[in-house]
Amino acid sequence: MQKISKTSLKVAEVFPKCFKHKKEKALRENFANILPLIIQQEQDYEVYASNGNLDKFKYLTESDIKPYNLTADNMKYLYNSGLKHDGWEARDYYEELVGVDAICPYCEVGPATTLDHVLEKSKSLGTTVTPINLVPSCSFCNTHKNVKKDIVLWHPYYDNPVDFRWLYAEYLGIKNKKQRINYYVQIPSEHVGEKNAELIESSFDAFYINTSYKAYAITTFKDIQLTMLEQVRKGKTEAKKRTLVHDALYNRYISCKHANQNSFSTALYECLLDSDIYYQELVDIVSKDPKPINN
């Protein structure tokens, strides 16, 4: 979970552009009339999000927007056919919010090519195009996001970076020719009960981080396989083989940990370091093919 710089875009600027092209004059007027309320929502959102209690934020529901002759579909339209719509002026804001070559702040691996509504657009009707509610994210995190009722998730614009180790993995061995791994969250005892710890646990589940990290790990397993088999072949004794494999993994672990202590690679190398299952699988492969590969 990464902190990213908060957008400076304001809803007062973005909102009018999202319905500018709408043909029905009456609807355009309805949108214009609700703008002060939408601006108020943004100000309230800012206060609640800054204090880390967005769960207490009073979002607009259907009954709140009814006096303006607007529906939930109208508010969702602002995003789907306004901000996101290719060719309209508002699309420039969409592009600006997504950013260029950005990495998803939730999983920290996927390319951020979409916008995630921190408060869902089907629920919080006054923040469907509010920039501070729109976070760049990868399509996996965005599409799989599953928010359980009243659960607050990591907000990349507001929540502070985590300075402790929380991501770990367990190597489960080969099954059906596939190397299997499982990622999990483990909060250090001194941080249990802290706000950030809760956000990590809820977001890890909500964004299916284990599923995406397992997929990324498959590529890493393939990348290191040849090098690890060579360590086993090089070792003259059992102890030496084991040390060589350990050291090769340890170097990668230290390098990854230096870059990001909670990355999927850090957890992956760490769990392989002392894994008897992983080592034994390498030994078994080498015993069937003891010759070094000449290339």
User: Which positions lie near Zn ion, rule CB under 5 A?
Assistant: 104, 106-107, 110, 138, 141
CB of 156 to Zn ion, least distance (A): 11
Cβ atoms within 10 Å, residue 175: 8
List C-alpha distances in Å: 115 to 118, 161, 282. 9, 21, 42
Give the C-alpha separation, 111 to 143, whole Å.
14
- CB-wise, 135 or 138, nearer to Zn ion? 138
Q: What is the torsional sign of CA 266, 268, 271, 274?
A: negative
CB of 44 to Zn ion, least distance (A): 28
Cβ atoms within 10 Å, residue 145: 18
CB of 66 to Zn ion, least distance (A): 36
- CB-wise, 107 or 132, nearer to Zn ion? 107
- CB-wise, 218 or 254, nearer to Zn ion? 218
- CB-wise, 104 or 272, nearer to Zn ion? 104
**Residue listed under structure tokens 């710890």:** 197
- CB-wise, 110 or 131, nearer to Zn ion? 110
Residue 272: which residues within 8 A CB-CB, separation 6 or more? 171, 249, 278
- CB-wise, 82 or 110, nearer to Zn ion? 110
- CB-wise, 1 or 286, nearer to Zn ion? 1
CB of 142 to Zn ion, least distance (A): 7
CB of 82 to Zn ion, least distance (A): 25
List C-alpha distances in Å: 10 to 42, 71, 156, 163. 8, 23, 17, 31
Classified as helix, coil or strand, 85 is: coil
CB of 209 to Zn ion, least distance (A): 8
Strands 134-137 and 178-185: unpaired
Give the C-alpha separation, 215 to 181, whole Å.
9
CB of 245 to Zn ion, least distance (A): 31
List C-alpha distances in Å: 218 to 181, 223, 227, 283. 9, 9, 15, 20
